[in-house]
């Protein structure tokens, strides 16, 4: 079997998961290089990795470069992606910088695998909440069409990075110790050093604010769901409205999704369709208290769907409850799956 030289750029939460996925999925690795802003040694699941300081020259001889990405920050992807491409690598970027570039395919392998062929050196990984949404919706879209979506996401703290997970942990400890959380973070969730991680208290709280606010008072995260879904599914006629909420969960995004189909679809039929969908697992027995939950899907690569039910007032309306690990399928696994498509 042919081997491929791979670079992983970034050693945050997503970068670590990329290293795990390459090993767990037995990707045919030749040389593996790990890059970050500074050199260091790290350990992942008992294996040591030497991290090199990133430089254009470091991409020489690399076949595929996986950029872990930093949401909302013009960083390594903008600076180094073109340098990697110049040296013959194909870049798969998990950040926000290339997703809506019309020249860059936005790929979820279960949905639009053929778009990989359109790349000109760079392929974009969608936003985590978009990935799980389209994986679950694609089988329904193919069978019954989709006219309209109303989506509420309940997104874990890890979606905002390791600092947000630490904020959740420290706030919980503080509150359970009866220490006023304001002493640690202030009213806007700032650490004692003034660094903002999340805009509000996350422990024992939820807030509808992920990203900045823009057109129609929708956040950037909400617009990502709209625009990325249109691009991936090649259908900008689907009417999509979203509210994105941060919740005090460590890892695993949940989504409450209302689907108005073009053709009426009974819940029993929808369950059957979804059960046969690639990358989808249906857990839907509410009488036995069985439905997907973040605590059960952490560390798993599939998209889980439950609470499949008809709108009692609109014949073509369905409700779905969708849960997935945002660091795995929502980021690292999707990127590695895309790399697997490339080598096939």
Q: Which residues are catalytic?
A: 128, 253
The whole-angstrom separation of Cα 189 and Cα 298 is 26
Q: Is 282 exposed, middle or buried, given 0-12, 13-18 or 19+ CB atoms closer than 10 A? A: buried
The whole-angstrom distance between residue 6's C-alpha and the CA centroid of its chain comes to 21
Q: Which pairs from 160-164 meet CB under 8 Å and 24+ separation?
A: 160/71, 160/197, 160/198, 160/210, 160/246, 161/12, 161/13, 161/70, 161/197, 162/12, 162/13, 163/195, 163/197, 164/197, 164/198, 164/202
* Other Cβ atoms within 10 Å of 336 Cβ, number: 26
What single string gives the DSSP state of each residue in 24-74? HTT--EEEEEEEESS-EEEEETTEEEEEEEP-GGGGTT-SEEEE---TT--
Strands 303-310 and 317-324, how do they pair?
antiparallel
Of 83, 10, 108, residue with least CA distance to 329: 108
Cβ(144)–Cβ(262) below 8 Å: yes
Q: Strand order of the sheet with strand 40-44?
A: 40-44, 47-53, 29-36, 4-9, 64-67, 90-93, 122-124
Work out the burial of residue 283: count CB atoms within 10 Å of its CB; fewer than 13 is exposed, 13-18 middle, 19 or more buried.
middle
User: Tokens for 22?
Assistant: 């390459």
Type and span of the H or E element at 239: strand 239-246
């Amino acid at each position: 079997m042919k081997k491929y030289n791979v670079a992983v750029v970034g050693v945050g939460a997503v970068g670590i998961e990329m290293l795990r996925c390459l090993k767990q999925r037995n990707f045919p690795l030749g040389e593996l290089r790990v890059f970050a802003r500074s050199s260091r040694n790290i350990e992942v699941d008992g294996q040591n990795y030497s991290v090199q300081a990133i430089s254009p020259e470091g991409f020489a001889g690399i076949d595929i470069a996986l950029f872990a990405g930093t949401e909302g920050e013009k960083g390594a992807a903008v600076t180094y992606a073109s340098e990697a491409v110049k040296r013959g690598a194909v870049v798969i970027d998990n950040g926000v910088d290339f997703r809506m570039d019309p020249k860059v395919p936005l790929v979820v392998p279960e949905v639009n695998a053929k778009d990989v062929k359109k790349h000109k050196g760079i392929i974009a990984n969608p936003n985590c909440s978009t990935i799980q949404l389209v994986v679950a919706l694609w089988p329904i879209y193919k069978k019954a069409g989709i006219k309209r979506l109303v989506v509420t996401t309940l997104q874990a703290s890890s979606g905002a990075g390791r600092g947000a997970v630490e904020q959740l942990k420290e706030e919980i400890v503080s509150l359970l110790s009866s220490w006023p959380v304001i002493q640690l973070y202030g009213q806007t969730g700032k650490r004692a050093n003034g660094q903002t991680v999340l805009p509000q208290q996350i422990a024992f709280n939820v807030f509808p604010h992920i990203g900045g606010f823009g057109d129609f008072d929708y956040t950037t995260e909400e617009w990502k769901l709209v625009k990325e879904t249109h691009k991936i599914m090649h259908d900008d006629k689907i009417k999509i409205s979203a509210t994105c909420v941060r919740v005090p969960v460590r890892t695993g995004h949940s989504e409450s999704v209302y689907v108005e189909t073009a053709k009426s679809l009974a819940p029993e039929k929808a369950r059957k369709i979804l059960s046969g969908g690639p990358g989808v697992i249906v857990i839907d027995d509410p009488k036995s208290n069985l439905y997907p939950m973040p605590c059960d899907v952490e560390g798993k690569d599939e998209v889980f769907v439950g609470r499949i039910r008809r709108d009692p007032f609109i014949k073509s309306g369905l409700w779905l409850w969708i849960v997935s690990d945002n660091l795995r399928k929502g980021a690292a696994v999707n990127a590695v799956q895309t790399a697997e498509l490339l080598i096939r």
